[in-house]
A and B are shown apart, each in its own frame.
Chain A
Amino acid sequence: MNTRDVVLEHVSIRFGNYRAVENAHLSIRGGEFFSFLGPSGCGKTTLLRCISGFVQPSEGRVLIGGKDMRNVGPNKRPTALIFQNLALFPLLSVAENIAFPLEVRGVGRKERRKRADELLEMIALPGTGDKKVHELSGGQRQRVAIARALAAEPDILLLDEPLSALDLKLRQHMRTELRAIQQRVGLTFIYITHDQGEALTMSDQVAVMNAGVVEQVGDPQTIYNRPKTPFVASFVGETNAIPGAVMNQQGALVTLDTALGPLTGQSAGGRDYQAGERCTLFVRPEQLALADAPPATNAIAARRVNEEFEGSIRTLFLNANGVDLRLYRMNADASGPALAADGTASIWFRPEHATVLPADPSRSG
C-alpha cells in the first residue's frame, strides 16, 4: 500500500444533531489530484478537517497510507493543509513562514534558510525571503502558503478553496500552476472547491458532495457526461432538465413521455426503469443543436425567448411548451442552421448525449 493513499471508510461526522458528513466511503490513490466539489455547507470542508485531524469522525475511520488515523493529532499526520485564508503567520518573514515546519522539528537556522530559499526558487519568488507576508500580493501569498505546506514534506496536501480569494485571471493561472506543482512533487492533492471549473480542469478524480453525502466519484469526464444523480447533473455544468414518465426502454436507451413529446436518452449506469416511472432527462446546452429539417428522433419545436452573447458562444434561451431550454451555439457556427424569421426553431439532440435519471422528489423544482 502506498503511503500516500487515503481511504475513508464509512465516515460520518455529526455535530450534535447536525449531520455534516454522512457515510463517506471512498479511496484516493497516492499521487492523485482528487477534488471534493459541492456547494457551500455541503460538508466538504468538514471532511477535509477530518482528514487533517482537526475533527474526529463520529463513525467510520480514516486511513492514511494504510494506517488508522484515530487519535493521531494534526501535528502527527503526514498531511499539510492549505487554509482558505492561507493562515500565513503575519509576524514572521516569508522565509520564516516557509521554514516553520522545519523550525518546529528542530532543524538548524542555516539549514532552514537554505531549504526556504530552495522552495522560494521553486515557487518563482526568489529573493523575497526577508519580506513580511503583508508585502506580498494575493497570488504570491498563495504560492508561499503552498511552499510552507511543502516544506513540511507531507504525503498528502489538502487545499481548502485556496483560489477563491483571487481574481479570475490569477485563478486561472494558479490552476495550471497547482497542477504543475502536483505533477512535479508527486504528492496526493486533495482539493476542496465549489467551483466546478477548478475541479474539472485540475483533477484526476472528483467527488461531488451534496448535503453531507458523496453523490458520485469519478474522473471529470464521467462526472460531466454521465452524472449518476440529478444533483450531479444540475450542479456540474449547465444542463436542461426535462421531466417525464418512462414509456419504454431498449437496452441502455430510455424513452420518456414529456411535455415536448417522446424524448430518448441514455439510462444512467445502465439502470432498468419500469414503464410509467417518473424520470428526468438531462441534456447539456452544447448538446442541443438547431436542425435544418425536423430530425427523426428527439425533435423539439421551440420558440426563442432571449439571447445572450458571451464571447466565444451565444446562449439561446428557448421555450418549448412551457419548458425553458438553453442552447449554446459557437459563434463560429453562424453559418449553420438558423432560427426562423418568426423566432421558432426546430432543435434536437443525440440520445447518447442525454441522461435519464429517476426524478428526485426533493428537488423537483
Chain B
Amino acid sequence: MTRGLGGGLFAFSYALLFFLFLFGPLIIMVITAFNSSAFPRVVPWECFTTDWFGVLVRNERLMSGLWTSLAIGVAVVAIAVPFGLAGALALADIGPRLRAGLYAVLITPILIPGVVLGISTIVFWSFVGRGVGASYDTVFYNGFFLTLLGQVAFIASYAMLVLNARLQRFDPTLTEAALDLGATPGQAFRRILLPFMKPALGSAAFITFLASFENYNTTVFTILSGNTFTTALASKVRLGTDPSLSALAVIIIAVTLIGAMVSEAHTRRQELLRSGKAGQSRFYANPLSRLLTHPGAVLVLLLGVTGFIAWSASRVDANVCRAAILQEKQQLQERLMQEQRNRIQQQAPAQPATPSPSNNPSPFGGAFNPNSLAPPVQPAPPAAPPPSNNPSPFGGAFNPNSLAPKQ
C-alpha cells in the first residue's frame, strides 16, 4: 500500500503531516496550559505552573455556565431521545409513500441554520407569551426553557437518524412473534424492541448530549441573558484570552481520553464474553490481569494516575521561578528603556525627556508603550485637547472632545 503512495518516505511524511494537522493544535494548547505566561504561548517558556486551573475554577461565569450546560444537556437527552425513537418508529411503520415525506419533515431541523432556529425560537415563544399575557418571569422568557426547546427542535433529529439506522435492521416479525405468543404490545416493546435498540439508544444519548453541550449558534440567542458554558467561553475569548482556556482544554481532553479507554475496555470485554473466547485469552487465565481488564478497574486506574499527576503537578511552586522571570523582565525593560533614552538623546537633544518608565512590568518589553511609537523628531503638538480627568484605558480615544472639528 505504501508503494502505491509513492514510497515509504512520502507515505510517512503524509501521515506525519496528517497527524500534525489533527493533533498539533491540541498538543500546543496542552503545553500552553502549563506555562505561567499570561498570554497562552509555548515560547518563550517561563515557568511550569498549574495556576491556570485555579484561575479557571475561580471563574464564576464559566463555572455557572458549565452547570447550566450540564443541566440543559441532561434535559435535552431526556427529551430528544424519546422523541427521536418515536420518529424512527413512525418512519418504520408508515407506508412507503408517506415515509419519504415524513422523513423530509423530520430531517428539516438539521438543515435549518442554528441561528435561524435560535432566533425563531425566541420570537415564537415571546409571541406566544405575549398572546397569553405572560410576564417576563414566566417560562416564555426563561433562557433555560427556551434553550431546551430550541436545541431539542433539531437534536431530536440527530437521535432519530441514529435510532432509525438501527431500527432498519430490526426484524418486525420478532414483534409479531412476541404478540402471537401472548405478549401485549407494551411487553413486546419493552422485552424485544428496546433491548435490541439499547446500543443505539446509548449512542443517541451520547450524541445528543454532546450536540447540546457544544451548541453555540442556537443557544447564544435562546439563553437570553443567561450563560451556558459555550456562550460564557465565547464571551471570554472575545474579551481576551488567557491560558485558563488551555487548562479547560486539558481537562476536556483528559475526560475524553479516559472515557474512550474505558469504553474500549468495556467493548472488548463484552466481545470476548459474547464470543465465548474468554477462556482462551491469556488475560482471563490470571485472576489479577482478569480484574485489571475490567472496565471499572481501568477507570479507577486511569483516574488514580491522572489524580496523582495532577496532585504532584500542583505541588510545584511557581512563585520563585515567576519572581525570577519578573525580575529578569524588569531588567530587560530597564535596559531597553535606557537604550531608547540614549537613542533619543543622540537623535534629538532638544527633545524633552521621555516620561518616567511605567511601573507596569509589561511582558512585551514596553513595545506597546504608546510613547515608544511617537515620531522621535516631532515638535510638541500645538493644541493638545485638554486632558480628561478620567483615566481612560483607551487613551481618551472615546473622549467626545477628541472628535470635535478643529477650528
Looking at the assembled complex, report how far the CB atom of B273 sits from the nearest CB atom of chain A, in whole angstroms.
11
Q: Are B176 and A80 in contact (CB under 8 A)?
A: no
Beta-carbon contact of A75 and B179 below 8 Å: yes
Among B173, B182, B187, B192, which residue has its beta carbon within 8 angstroms of that of A83? B173
Cβ–Cβ contact A85 & B171, under 8 A = yes
Residues in A whose Cβ lies below 8 Å from that of B174: 87, 89
Flag the segment in A97-105, A261-269, A338-346 that touches B. Answer: A97-105
B233 within 8 A of A: no
* A149 interface neighbour in B181, B187, B192, B196, Cβ under 8 Å: B181
- Inter-chain CA distance A79–B173, complex, in Å, is 16
Q: Does A91 contact B (CB under 8 A)?
A: yes
The CA-CA distance from A83 to B191 in the complex, in Å, is 19
Of the candidates A73, A79, A83, A103, which one forms a contact with B177 in the assembled complex, judged by CB atoms under 8 Å apart?
A83
Once the chains bind, are B195 and A74 in contact (CB under 8 Å)? no
Q: Does A320 count as interface, using CB distance less than 8 angstroms?
A: no
Interface membership of chain B positions 156-193, coded 1 if the CB is closer than 8 angstroms to chain A and 0 otherwise: 00000000000000010110111111111001000110
A52 B183 Cβ-Cβ under 8 A: no
Which secondary structure characterizes the binding site on chain B?
Answer: helix
A199: CB under 8 A from chain B?
A: no
User: Of residues A75, A79, A105, which shows the largest number of chain B Cβ atoms within 10 Å of its Cβ?
Assistant: A75
**Chain A: interface residue total (CB-CB under 8 A):** 25
Is the Cβ of A104 less than 8 Å from the Cβ of B181?
A: yes
Of B173, B179, B180, B191, which one neighbours A103 at CB under 8 angstroms? B191
Q: Is the CB of A75 within 8 A of B183?
A: yes
> Is A329 part of the binding interface, using a Cβ–Cβ cutoff of 8 Å?
no
* Residues on B with beta carbons closer than 8 Å to the beta carbon of A104: 178, 181-184, 187, 191
A74 with B179: CB separation less than 8 A: yes
Known contacts A75-B184, A91-B195; is A100 also within 8 Å of B178 by CB? yes
A residues less than 8 Å from B178 (CB atoms): 89, 100, 104
B191 engages A74 (CB within 8 Å): no
- Please give, as numbers and ranges, the residues of chain B lying within 8 Å of A83 by CB-CB distance: 173, 176-177
| In the bound complex, CA of A149 to CA of B176 (Å) | 13
Q: Shortest distance in angstroms between B377's beta carbon and chain A's nearest beta carbon?
A: 87
**Complex Cα distance A80/B179, Å?**
10
B132 to chain A, nearest CB (A): 43
B residues in contact with A100, CB < 8 Å = 178, 181, 183, 191
Give Cα distance in the complex from A101 to B171, angstroms.
19
Given A54-B176, A83-B177, A104-B187, A89-B182 contact (CB < 8 Å): no
Contact indicator B173/A85 (Cβ below 8 Å): yes
Task: Judge whether A81 is part of the interface by a CB distance below 8 angstroms.
Answer: yes
CB-CB under 8 A from A74, the residues of chain B are: 176, 179-180
Measured between C-beta atoms, what is the minimum distance from A55 to chain B in Å? Answer: 11
Separation in Å of the B28 CB from the closest CB of chain A? 46
- Are A101 and B195 in contact, with the CB atoms below 8 A? no
Evaluate contact between B179 and A105: CB separation under 8 angstroms. no
Q: Is the CB of B177 within 8 A of A101?
A: no
Q: Are B196 and A91 in contact (CB under 8 A)?
A: yes
Residue of B nearest to A77 (CB): B180
Does A284 have its Cβ within 8 Å of any Cβ on chain B? Answer: no
A46 to B182, CA, bound (A): 20
A194 at the interface (CB under 8 A from B): no
Interface residues of B in 188-207 (CB under 8 A from A): 191-192, 195-196
Asked if A87 and B176 make an inter-chain contact with CB atoms under 8 angstroms apart, the answer reads yes
Please give, as numbers and ranges, the residues of chain B lying within 8 Å of A79 by CB-CB distance.
180
Which residue of chain A lies nearest to B187 when distances are taken between CB atoms in the complex?
A104
**B177 with A81: CB separation less than 8 A:** yes
Q: Chain B interface residue count: which class?
A: 10 to 19
The interface bits of chain A over 140-152 (1 if a CB of B lies within 8 angstroms of the residue's CB, else 0) are 0000000011011
Q: Tell me the smallest distance from the CB of A86 to a CB of chain B, in Å.
A: 8
Bound state CA distance, A81 and B179, in angstroms?
Answer: 10
CA distance A90 to B198 in the complex (A): 14
Complex interface: chain A residues within 8 A of B176 (CB): 54, 74, 81, 83, 87
Residues of B within 8 A of A91 (CB): 195-196
Complex Cα gap A152–B183 (Å): 10
Provide the bound-state CA to CA distance between A339 and B178, in Å: 61
How far apart are A144's CB and chain B's nearest CB, in angstroms?
12
Quick one: which of B348-378 are within 8 Å of A by CB? none
Encode contact with B along A119-158: 1 for CB under 8 Å, 0 otherwise. 0000000000000000000000000000011011000000
Residues of A with C-beta under 8 A to B187: 104
Which residue of the partner chain, among B179, B180, B184, B192, contacts A89 with CB atoms under 8 Å? B192
Given A91-B195, A104-B187, A152–B177 Cβ distance below 8 Å?
Answer: no
Q: Which residues of B contact A151 (CB under 8 A)?
A: 181
A16 to B24, CA, bound (A): 63
Q: How far is the CB of B281 from chain A (nearest CB, A)?
A: 19
Contact indicator per residue, chain B 287-317, by CB within 8 Å of chain A (1) or not (0): 0000000000000000000000000000000
Partner of B180, one of A81, A90, A105: A81
A contact residues around B180 at 8 Å (CB):
52-54, 74-75, 79-81, 152
User: Shortest Cβ distance from A75 into chain B, in angstroms?
Assistant: 5
A66 CB to closest chain B CB (Å) equals: 21
Q: From residue B195, how far is it (CB to closest CB) to chain A in Å?
A: 5
A45 CB, nearest partner CB in chain B, Å: 12
The 8 A CB mask of A48-78 against B (1 = contact, 0 = none) is 0000111000000000000000000111000
Partner of B181, one of A54, A80, A85, A90: A80
How far, in Å, is B167 (CB) from chain A's closest CB?
15
CB contacts (< 8 Å) of B183 on chain A: these are: 75, 100-101, 104
Q: How far is the CA of A41 from the CA of B195 in the complex (A)?
A: 34
Question: Which of A54, A75, A88 is within 8 Å of B182, CB to CB?
Answer: A75
Q: Report the bound CA distance from A152 to B192 in whole Å.
A: 17
Question: For residue A83, which residue of chain B has the nearest CB?
Answer: B173
CA distance A44 to B168 in the complex (A): 27
> Is the Cβ of B171 less than 8 Å from the Cβ of A87?
yes
Alpha-carbon separation in the docked complex, A40 to B179 (Å): 25
A151 to B196, CA, bound (A): 23
A100 to B182, CA, bound (A): 9
Report the Cα distance A147→B174, complex, angstroms: 16
Q: Are A105 and B182 in contact (CB under 8 A)?
A: yes
B130-150: contact bitstring with A at CB < 8 Å (1 yes, 0 no)?
000000000000000000000
Determine the distance from Cα of A85 to Cα of B172 in the docked complex, in whole angstroms.
Answer: 11
Known: A87-B171, A89-B192. A152 touches B182 (CB 8 A): yes
14 A-B contacts, Cβ less than 8 Å apart? A74-B176, A74-B180, A75-B179, A80-B181, A83-B173, A83-B176, A85-B171, A85-B173, A87-B173, A88-B177, A90-B196, A100-B181, A104-B182, A104-B191
Supplied contacts A81-B176, A100-B191, 10 more A-B pairs, CB within 8 Å: A81-B177, A83-B173, A85-B173, A87-B174, A89-B177, A89-B178, A90-B196, A104-B191, A149-B181, A152-B182
Residues of B at the A interface (CB closer than 8 Å) are 171, 173-174, 176-184, 187, 191-192, 195-196
Q: Which 7 A-B pairs rank lowest in CB-CB distance, beginning with the nearest?
A: A87-B177, A104-B183, A101-B181, A87-B173, A74-B179, A81-B180, A75-B179
